[in-house]
Structure 1
Amino acid sequence: MNTKPHTREKSYSCEVCCSCFPNKQYLATHMRTHTREKPYSCEVCGFSFTMKNTMLQHMKTHIGKKPYSCDVCGSIFARKYNMLQHMQTHTGEKPYFCEVCGFSFTRKHHLLQHMRTHTGDKPYSCKDCGSSFTRKDGLVIHMLTHTGEKPYSCKVCGYSFTRKNYLLQHMRTHTGEKPYSCEVCGSSFTRKDSLVIHMRTHTGEKPYSCKVCGYSFICKSNLLQHTRTHTDSTKLDTPPN
């Protein structure tokens, strides 16, 4: 007599990616990841979702209900899933690995976004100029270049920015904060990318090369300045018509 427990086979397959599901409802929900259909909308802000329970969880952000708290730092969350993701900032766990370069991430959607740097996929396009982006927030920020909107303003000097991180970087010019320090010589910087460029003075790395003469530079701006020496000399060497 066969005593093995009965297991239901996954009989519903996605025609796009061949993923299998135990019932038709799960398949229908999965298909929305391909069609980008979001039939469940928030009555407060209009934000849309592929699943009803995700929308209901989102509604808690409007009523202020945050029943899940972090045991380490006390941060509170509307969804248990968000709390579990937050916990990874304390544990350092990054369970999602890129099979191409080995880079790891705390969240699956961060990995999916990263994979586009390898595939070149840019699914978000600007209707005004056709520029494409790997992430939706990249498109949203780009659109500000067309509207001229700069929603982030400095309370000290009134200067405005298209991105919040640009404002935060700018604020350091007022506070004098330089949170990024060189481990070799102790020099400190207001921006991380400035530290990265500085480190090349220690490592000798010069990743930006001139296509005309092969001369290399530690940063792109130095390369752009250098290339003008070629274009200017070309203009001088070209006889007038």
Structure 2
Amino acid sequence: MEALMEEKSYSCEVCGLIFTSKNEFEIHSRAHPEVKPHSCEVCGSSFKTKSTLKIHVRIHTGEKPYSCEMCGSSFTGKSHLTVHMRRHVGNKPYGCDVCDSSFTTKSELESHVRTHTGERPFPCEVCNSAFSRKSDLKRHAQIHTGRKPYSCGVCGSSFTEKSSLKVHMHIHTGEKPHSCQVCVLSFTTKSALKRHIQIHTGEKPHVCTVCSSSFSQKTHLKMHLLIHTGVKPFSCEVCSAAFTGKAKLKVHMRKHTEAKQKSCEDNKASFTNKDKIKAQMKTH
């Protein structure tokens, strides 16, 4: 009996678990990240399970067999459709323990948590930039290649991503599909709406590590940090004065514009007076 049990047992060399079924053992073995037996014949990417490979191949074929009955969007995998449906019903099962924000997917939560920890695990191989999300790194890499494959048929502007082109098209159509449920304002992008909502909630998730000042937008925090570093990246081309923010430089430039306009008006008045004197001299 013991010999029979030994014959039917399968031990995992990675974690030591024992299985009586060969099929279960093989499925378990694929759970270890270093074991990816299924490779894509098109791009060489490897996967832990055959079903994951099957979904991946649809990227190359363009096949999207799972469609949303509410909006018509289609997806390569059933899990992608499931996540998409959560957005329609407002289901956000993954909550942040730090700020109570909630998300539709676990990966979105993980990316969000990095805004609190400051972790940026995705570095650029060309420059020293690092990112909290892989998608942000991918988008950044386009800067170095200079490739912008998505072009606007109206004005010819080109973009690195299809989603950026889609947002850009709202400028031409005037469409603002993202509406605030608190007030009547609407926005062209979801991110713009999210920033706007923070006005109503008073949320300021971006905190300065030097003085603990908090801000609703990451760009505001970035500008604030220049106060501590003393860096003034925006310089005046007229008098070389430097500023921490572009808006401050813009205000400063008005002084030069106003001074130039005043000088022109004074010169105009001077020329007018000279013409009057000449005309008066001719009458004598």
Provide TM-score, normalisation by structure 1: 0.62
TM superposition shift of 1:69? 5.2
Write the distance in 1 (CA, Å) between the matches of 2:205 and 2:178: 21
Q: Is the 8 A contact 1:14 1:27 kept in 2?
A: no
TM superposition shift of 1:142? 0.8
Matched, 1:224 2:224: no
Provide TM-score, normalisation by structure 2: 0.54
Q: Secondary structure of the equivalent of 2:30?
A: helix
Q: Which runs of 5+ in 2 are unaligned?
A: 1-10, 20-24, 225-243, 254-284
Write the distance in 2 (CA, Å) between the matches of 1:119 and 1:207: 12
Shift in CA distance, 28/115, structure 1 to aligned 2, threshold 3 Å: farther
Match for residue 48 of structure 1?
Answer: 46
Q: Which runs of 5+ in 1 are unaligned?
A: 1-10, 233-241
- With 200-209 and 112-121 compared, the bigger mean Cα shift is at 200-209
Q: Is the 8 A contact 1:95 1:106 kept in 2?
A: yes
- With 180-189 and 145-154 compared, the bigger mean Cα shift is at 180-189
Match for residue 130 of structure 1?
Answer: 128
Report the count of equivalent residues.
Answer: 210
Write the distance in 2 (CA, Å) between the matches of 1:148 and 1:197: 29
Match for residue 32 of structure 2?
Answer: 31
Write the distance in 2 (CA, Å) between the matches of 1:201 and 1:98: 20
Write the distance in 2 (CA, Å) between the matches of 1:202 and 1:160: 35
TM superposition shift of 1:42? 1.3
Q: Is the 8 A contact 2:30 2:36 kept in 1?
A: no
Q: Secondary structure of the equivalent of 1:53?
A: helix
Q: Is the 8 A contact 2:176 2:186 kept in 1?
A: yes
Shift in CA distance, 176/122, structure 1 to aligned 2, threshold 3 Å: same
Match for residue 85 of structure 1?
Answer: 83
The code of the aligned residue for 2:32 comes to: M
Shift in CA distance, 151/184, structure 1 to aligned 2, threshold 3 Å: same
Q: Could you give the per-residue CA deviations for residues 187-222 of structure 1, whole angstroms, max 9, x where no partner exists?
A: 44434455566667778999999x9xx9x9998489
The code of the aligned residue for 1:117 comes to: T
| Structural mapping, 1:168-207, within 5 Å | 168-181=166-179, 186-195=184-193
The code of the aligned residue for 2:130 comes to: S
Match for residue 94 of structure 1?
Answer: 92
Q: Secondary structure of the equivalent of 2:153?
A: coil
- With 38-47 and 61-70 compared, the bigger mean Cα shift is at 61-70
Aligned match for 2:105, one of 104, 107, 113: 107
Match for residue 152 of structure 1?
Answer: 150
Shift in CA distance, 63/110, structure 1 to aligned 2, threshold 3 Å: same
The code of the aligned residue for 1:95 comes to: P
The code of the aligned residue for 2:84 comes to: H
Q: Is the 8 A contact 1:21 1:27 kept in 2?
A: no
Write the distance in 2 (CA, Å) between the matches of 1:95 and 1:206: 23
Shift in CA distance, 90/207, structure 1 to aligned 2, threshold 3 Å: closer
Write the distance in 1 (CA, Å) between the matches of 2:190 and 2:249: 28
Q: Secondary structure of the equivalent of 1:143?
A: helix
Shift in CA distance, 156/55, structure 1 to aligned 2, threshold 3 Å: same
Q: Could you give the per-residue CA deviations for residues 156-179 of structure 1, whole angstroms, max 9, x where no partner exists?
A: 111112233332222122112223
Percent of aligned pairs with the same amino acid: 46
Match for residue 279 of structure 2?
Answer: none
Match for residue 236 of structure 1?
Answer: none
Shift in CA distance, 122/27, structure 1 to aligned 2, threshold 3 Å: farther
Match for residue 117 of structure 2?
Answer: 119
Shift in CA distance, 133/107, structure 1 to aligned 2, threshold 3 Å: same
